[in-house]
Structure 1
Amino acid sequence: MADASTNRRRNRPPTAAAAAAALLLAVFLALGLIPNASAEPAPAPPAPACGAESRGGCHDRPEALKLKVVAIAAILATSMIGVGAPLFSREVPALKPDRKLFVIIKAFASGVILATGYMHVMPDSFDDLRSECLPEVPWRKFPFTMFVAMLSAVITLMVDSYAMAYYKKINAKISSSSGGGGGGGDANGQAKDAVVGLEHGGADAHLHGGAGAGAIEGEKEQLLRYRVVAQVLELGIVVHSVVIGLSLGASDNPCTIRPLIAALCFHQMFEGMGLGGCILQAEFGLKVKFIMAFFFSATTPFGIALGIGLSNVYSDSSPAALIVEGLLNASSAGLLNYMALVDLLAADFLGPRLQADMKLQSWAYVAVLFGAGFMALMAKWA
Structure 2
Amino acid sequence: MSDHGHSHSHGSEDCEGQLLDDYNQALHIGSIFIILVASFLGTAIPIVSNFIKILNIPKYIIVLGKCMGVGVILAAALIHMLLPANASLSSPCLPETFTESYEAWAFMFCVTGAIAMQLIDFLVLQYIQHRTVEKRATHPDPESPTPIDCGKLDESTDTYELQTVEVHKHGGHGHSHGGFILTNSELKTVEAYMLEFGVTVHSVFVGLAIGVADDTSLRALLVALCFHQFFEGLALGARINDAKASRLQQFILSMIFSISAPIGIAIGVGVSSTLNTNGVSFLFVQGIFDAICAGILLYIGFSMLLKDFPEDMNLHCKEKKHEQLRKAGMFAALWVGSGLMAYIGRYL
TM-score (norm 1): 0.73
Task: Give the stretch that moved more between structures: 268-277 or 164-173.
Answer: 164-173
**Paired residues of 2:90 and 2:103 also in contact (CA < 8 A):** no
Evaluate the alpha carbon distance shift between residue 257 and residue 183 of structure 1 in structure 2; reply closer, same or farther with a 3 A threshold. farther
Does residue 54 (structure 1) correspond to residue 14 (structure 2)? The answer is no
Tell me if structure 1 keeps the 8 A contact 2:46–2:237. Answer: yes
Q: 2:330 aligned with 1:330, yes or no?
A: no
Which structure 2 residues correspond to residues 279-298 of structure 1 after superposition, within 5 A?
Answer: 279-298=240-259
- Alignment map for 1:254-273 (pairs within 5 Å): 254-273=215-234
Q: Which moved more, 1:142-151 or 1:169-178?
A: 169-178
Match of residue 181 from structure 2:
217
**SS of the counterpart of 2:14?**
coil
- Alignment of 1:240 onto 2:202: yes
| Structure 1 position 303, deviation (Å) | 1.3
Distance 1:182 1:305 in 2: 60
Between the aligned residues of both structures, percent identity stands at 27
Q: Hey, what does 1:380 align to over in structure 2?
A: 346
Runs of 5+ consecutive residues of structure 2 not aligned to the other structure: 146-177
Which residue pairs with 1:348 in the alignment?
308
Asked if structure 2 preserves the Cα contact closer than 8 Å seen for 1:119 and 1:376, the reply is yes
1:124 and 2:87 are equivalent in the alignment? no
Q: Distance in 1 between matches of 2:118 and 2:240?
A: 19
Pick one of 261, 270, 277 that aligns with 1:316.
Answer: 277
Query: 1:84 pairs with 44, 53, 60, which one?
Result: 44
Q: Deviations over 1:152-197 (max 9, x none)?
A: 111111111112221232233224433237999xxxxxxxxxxxxx
Q: SS of the counterpart of 2:181?
A: helix
Question: Cα–Cα, structure 1 residues 226 and 349, in superposed 2: closer, same or farther, change >3 Å?
Answer: same
Q: Which residues of structure 1 form unaligned runs of 5+?
A: 1-40, 185-213
SS of 1:278's partner is helix
CA distance in 1, matches of 2:283, 2:293: 15
TM-superposed CA distance for 1:94, in Å, is: 5.0
Greater percentage in strand: 2
User: How many positions carry a matched residue from both structures?
Assistant: 304
Conservation of the 8 A alpha-carbon contact between 1:118 and 1:333: yes
Q: Which amino acid aligns with 1:71?
A: S
Are residues 1:305 and 2:266 paired?
Answer: yes
Q: What is residue 165 of structure 2 aligned with on the other side?
A: none
1:70 CA drift (Å):
1.6
How does the TM-score come out when normalised to structure 2?
0.80
Cα deviation per residue 1:274-327 (whole Å; 9 max; x = unaligned)? 111111111111211111111010111111112222334321111221111111
Aligned residues: CA RMSD: 2.7
Alpha carbons 2:67, 2:309 under 8 Å: kept: no
Change (3 A) 1:136 1:226: same
Q: Offset of 1:215 from its aligned partner?
A: 9.1
Equivalent position of 1:11 in the other structure: none
Aligned to 1:242, the other structure's residue is in SS state helix
Structure 1 residues 177 and 263 mapped into 2: Cα distance closer, same or farther (>3 Å)? same
CA contact (8 A) 1:233 1:339 kept: yes
Measured against aligned partners, the alpha-carbon deviations of 1:237-270 in whole angstroms (never above 9, x if no partner) come to: 1111111122222x14111111111111111111
Q: Secondary structure of the equivalent of 2:293?
A: helix
Larger Rg: 1
